[in-house]
Structure 1
Amino acid sequence: MQQVSWEKLQAKGNPLISPAYKSNGHVFTSGNVGSRPDGTFPSDVAEQTKLAIQKLEKVLHASDSSLSQVLKVLLFIADPKDAATVNSVYKDYFPHMPSRSCVVVGFPNKQVKVELECVASYNQREYKL
């Protein structure tokens, strides 16, 4: 088991969680929300979705993986009325249609409209002596 650190992402992170863990050919990510680099949230759910997926992509790259290697997505949305908009953005990033669950939740921060986490495969490096 290997932790992916915030330092590897060159990001200020949450001190309570790791961005991801790698184990047995899989990477397990924490949730990624659609905030801007300054910590603010766009009011537009499509923009939040793009930002959240782009953050997820950075975590995957730091984990020797990519969006195309995602096997399962857990998607949280604040408002079921936003599902169509979220899906229209989502499909552009996940054309291979990984398995997915979508849950409507009440986020503690009311500015948050979407959050994604995933399980993906990663490129295991073989070392030869």
Structure 2
Amino acid sequence: MATLTAAQRRQRDRQAYDAFLAACPARKVLDRISDKWVTLVLAALGDGPKRYSDLSRIIAGASQKMLTQTLRSLERDGLVGRTVTTAVPVRVDYELTELGHSLHAVVRQLKDWAESHIEEIEQARAAYDA
């Protein structure tokens, strides 16, 4: 077995992510995608590009500030692309990138699960609170 240099060991350790560790970069990703607004935006963009106003109508309760921040963070993470069409007025479309599409299936399942099990969860809450 070959001996690894310190630099090689650091590189190997960097590649072995463990989200249970506080310093793991994957934990930051989990923090991001577990946000309710992120989940809803990714689910809403799953069936194709949308304008900001479309997303605002689809995602009830999202303030303009929150929706803007969420879209910017998703764009920064490479999950959402933003296309500006120069016309009068300017048109801006948001859509999932290839990376975003790879996450969409998981997010959609999570959304569907929540919708189909909400009654059970509310019953459990009521029983617990009683």
TM-score by length of 2: 0.25
Q: Structure 1 or 2: larger helix share?
A: 2
TM-score by length of 1: 0.25
Q: Which of 1 and 2 has higher RCO (CA within 8 Å, sep 6+)?
A: 1
Q: Structure 1 or 2: larger strand share?
A: 1
